[in-house]
Amino acid sequence: MLQVPFIRDNKDLVIERLAKRNIDAAEDINQVIALDEDRRALQTKLDNALAEGNKLSKEIGGFFKSGDIEKANVLKEKTSQLKVDSKELTEALNNTTNALNDLLYKLPNVPNNLVPAGNTEEDNEEVFKEGDIPVLDANALPHWELAKKYDIIDFELGNKITGAGFPVYKGKGAKLQRALITYFLDKNTEAGYTEFQLPHLVNEASGLGTGQLPDKEGQMYHVTADNLYLIPTAEVPGTNIFRDVVLNEVDLPITITGYTPCFRREAGSYGAHVRGLNRLHQFDKVEIIRVEHPTKSYEALDGMVAHIKTILQELKLPYRILRLCGGDLGFTSALTYDFEVFSTAQDRWLEISSVSNFETFQANRLKLRFKNNQGKNELAHTLNGSSLALPRVLAGILENYQTKEGILVPEVLHPYTGFKIIN
């Protein structure tokens, strides 16, 4: 959530940066400033009324003690009216504050100045590319056909048990999936991230804290009886560890990693681009999360990008990195880098990771602060990244490592799988 003082002091900058998201925010920003002025005016009136009431109460006590009952009763009438005024002011203040917060919840984060302008994913900037795209046999298959051929992923069985988008991994497919999860966690912990096992359901406050709620796109699975939500990513429970927490500056940075299944109600669409593992309602992901000092968060973002590079280099998958344009930027992000793996059998790039700096946007919602060297509370910066999302990494391995003899397993995974080929 954007901070009101920042909006007030940087009105033109906020409107200009939000325009990168193709949003004309001028009316909303002016309304935020007007509501904040009303809120502060009401607060001042309420404070004055309460102070006047306290002052009169002391004077009434003095008059009663001195026996001047008439003056005491006159003042009691004034205090009665002040109580009525205070109640009305409190109600007006609460209504104004709620209206202000409702509007702030609808405003996305202000893009960093590095974010390119643009409307769609075609306007994203490619900033890095690495790896040779393999030349496959003319009869090479997409992963959903390989999965059926080698009986390692059963999409039809998942559809029978639950519905489309809930695959069943079998045999070497299940073991390769588990190997990737363990490998990712090992790489992250070796890099200094502390491993957490996190809940797969969160409450409403957690969804609000990291920006998944209000659910504007209807992607959250809601357990209505308990008002809980299935997590769309480990970012939500992981970051909410620090909700309503005041850290010490020496505690920073805080770095955690965790594996969870993730659940997303994707909008219905059809075609090869969503077949097989390309788009799922339930999928596995290993996440990295950082809580950083504001002056060091972009250095940390670069470090996260470099860390994910090493994983893809070890997997020997061709990949590229995109800097997302304003129109493709997530609601809570100030700057995001997407990693994409090239699927040779599908002849297209598949997104496998998003690495983002949210600056103070989530921290303001979470009330996540740290006590700086001057002893004052300051909002921290939060960051997170997929390290990595399993489905499309697995799709990339199956398709790019296929041979006439079977599907080779990346060498770095051999200690985890116990086999070198799926055939």
Q: Which segments of 167-245 are extended strands (E)?
A: 168-169, 194-195, 201-203, 222-223, 228-230
pLDDT interval class at 225 (50, 70, 90)? very high
Residue 354 annotated as binding site: yes
235: nearest Cα among 361, 383, 376, 403: 383
Q: 3: alpha, beta or left, given left = phi > 0 and alpha = psi -120 to 50?
A: beta
Percent of the chain beyond pLDDT 90?
Answer: 88
pLDDT digits (tens, 9 = 90+) for 361-384: 999 999 999 999 999 999 999 999
- pLDDT (0 to 100) of residue 373: 92
Residue 39 annotated as binding site: no
Q: Are 49 and 82 in contact (CB under 8 A)?
A: yes
Q: Are 165 and 346 in contact (CB under 8 A)?
A: no
Question: Cβ neighbours of residue 292 under 8 Å, at least 6 residues apart?
Answer: 252, 253, 300, 380, 381, 382, 383
Residue 333 annotated as binding site: no
Residue 353 annotated as binding site: yes
Residue 233 annotated as binding site: yes
Check residue 116 and report its DSSP letter: P
For residue 129, pLDDT beyond 90? yes
331: nearest Cα among 365, 307, 368, 372: 365
Torsion of CA 315, 137, 272, 350, to 10 degrees: 20
- pLDDT (0 to 100) of residue 356: 98
Q: Compute the mean pLDDT over every residue in the chain, rounded to the nearest whole number.
A: 95
Residue 264 annotated as binding site: yes
pLDDT digits (tens, 9 = 90+) for 36-86: 999 999 999 999 999 998 889 888 888 777 888 878 788 888 888 999 999
| pLDDT, mean of residues 312-321 | 98
- pLDDT (0 to 100) of residue 273: 63
Residue 73 annotated as binding site: no
For residue 311, pLDDT beyond 90? yes
Ordered by where they begin, the domains of the chain are 4-106 (1.10.287.40), 121-422 (3.30.930.10)
The residue to which tokens 């795209």 are assigned: 133
H/E segment holding residue 40: helix 26-66
Residue 243 annotated as binding site: no
Sheet of strand 246-248: strand arrangement? 246-248, 369-371, 377-379
Structure-token pair, residue 283: 């999928």
Q: What's the pTM? A: 0.93
pLDDT digits (tens, 9 = 90+) for 239-274: 999 999 999 999 999 999 999 999 998 755 555 567
In terms of residues, how long is the chain? 423
Residue 224 annotated as binding site: no
- pLDDT (0 to 100) of residue 354: 97
Residue 369 annotated as binding site: no
Out of 60-74, 127-141, 275-289, least confident range: 60-74
DSSP letter string over 270-314?
A: -SGGGSTTSS-SEEEEEEEEEEE-TTTHHHHHHHHHHHHHHHHHH
